[in-house]
Structure 1
Amino acid sequence: MNIVPMSPWLALPAAILLIAGGLLALIGSLGLLRLNSFYARIHAPTMGNTLGAGCVLIASMLTSSAAAGRPVIHELLITVFLLITSPVTTMLLMRAAVFRSETGRDRQGEEAS
């Protein structure tokens, strides 16, 4: 297997995208820890997941395409999967929280009769 050196014009945007993806994931994690209510907490990791993963996937597409010498778009399938599943998961979690708060099951030690 031959290792092909990557052009700095390609390595720089890939590095910037990887750093941005890592920072977005870190900000989402900090938001999960610092925000008070469940409804406020649900947004930070969702945005960090979607935008951070998008940056990492674009960087992966750039570097894979440069290494293969042709366009590599396998990461688009991962992106589509993330864009479909992340909002659906968030909506299901929010509905479960609303249901729990309506039935009174969100209090510790209490069960709705």
Structure 2
Amino acid sequence: MIWLAYGFFILGLFFLTFGVIGLIRFPDLYTRIHPAGKGGTAGGLSIFIGLMIYSGLSALTLRLALISLFILITSPVASHVIARGALESGIKPWQQKDKKQ
């Protein structure tokens, strides 16, 4: 079971790493929100699942499950609120300019 937990830790680091790469590579707030939200949610949940497997069946597992549920619910909502606030503040979405070929 310990190897399964390590697998979830590595999977979580994979999601978080690609979320950070997306933050660096994408051009504006609206496109950066997607990898940040998905990477944070999927990475955090994977790490918490790994911690639940690692800790075994205990009271800590229940706490980790509740924290995971909280992250699963609030992270997408927070991403949506940030994007909505940016749009209402007048921040324009990035548009690719036509390139002559």
TM above 0.5: yes
| Alignment partner, residue 110 of structure 1 | none
| Alignment partner, residue 18 of structure 2 | 27
Q: Could you say which structure has the greater relative contact order, defined with CA pairs below 8 angstroms and 6 or more residues apart?
A: 2
Q: CA deviation at 1:92?
A: 1.1
Identity %: 30
The runs of at least 4 aligned residues of structure 1 exceeding 4 Å deviation read none
Instruction: Provide the aligned length of Structure 1 versus Structure 2.
Output: 92
The alignment status of 1:91 with 2:80, answered yes or no, reads yes
What is the RMSD computed on CA atoms of the aligned residues? 2.0
Q: TM-score, normalised by structure 2?
A: 0.81
The alignment status of 1:100 with 2:59, answered yes or no, reads no
Q: CA deviation at 1:71?
A: 8.7
The whole-number CA distance in structure 2 between the counterparts of 1:12 and 1:53 is 18
The whole-number CA distance in structure 2 between the counterparts of 1:49 and 1:98 is 22
Structure with a larger share of its residues in helix:
2
Structure 1: gaps spanning 5 or more residues: 1-9, 108-113
Q: TM-score, normalised by structure 1?
A: 0.73
Candidates 27, 33, 37, aligned match of 1:42:
33
Q: CA deviation at 1:81?
A: 1.0
